[in-house]
């Protein structure tokens, strides 16, 4: 199994596309439906922490089962994001780099998020 340090974004895009193609899901994968799926899966991550204090949320992530459940939901979000990138032919690496560069001026080093 490959790790984050060895797997490329392109490889992940290929794996996601193969999964979608094998199931003939292209008919369901339109930008609107994929965007909605991203939001739904992100909400499922939030559900794990709903009503918890900051400290309680950190403790929860020290439980292996709970941590894996959150990781599984993160994977769902990432898979749908990759599927959307595939659908609209977005360069994920370029998008991330461009976004971070645009945020450097808005959030200089030492700036605390509000």
Domains and CATH numbers, the chain: 9-106 (1.10.287.1080)
Burial class of 84 by CB neighbour count within 10 A (0 to 12, 13 to 18, 19+):
buried
For residues 86 and 78, is the Cβ–Cβ distance under 8 A? no
**Local confidence pLDDT in tens for the 114 residues of the chain:** 679 999 999 999 999 999 999 999 999 999 999 999 999 999 999 999 999 999 999 999 999 999 999 999 999 999 999 999 999 999 999 999 999 999 998 888 988 877
pTM score of the predicted model: 0.90
For residues 77 and 38, is the Cβ–Cβ distance under 8 A? yes
Other CB atoms closer than 10 Å to residue 114's CB: what's the count? 3
Q: Give Cα 38 to chain centroid, integer Å.
A: 8
């Amino acid at each position: 199994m490959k790790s984050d340090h060895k797997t490329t974004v392109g490889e992940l895009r290929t794996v996601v596309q193969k999964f979608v193609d094998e199931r003939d899901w292209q008919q369901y994968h339109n930008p609107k439906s994929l965007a909605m799926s991203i939001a739904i899966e992100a909400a499922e991550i939030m559900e794990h922490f709903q009503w918890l204090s900051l400290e309680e949320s950190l403790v929860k992530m020290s439980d292996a089962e709970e941590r894996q459940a959150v990781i599984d939901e993160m994977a769902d979000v990432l898979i749908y994001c990759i599927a959307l990138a595939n659908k609209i032919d977005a360069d994920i690496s370029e998008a991330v780099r461009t976004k971070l560069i645009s945020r450097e001026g808005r959030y200089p080093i030492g700036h605390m998020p509000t």
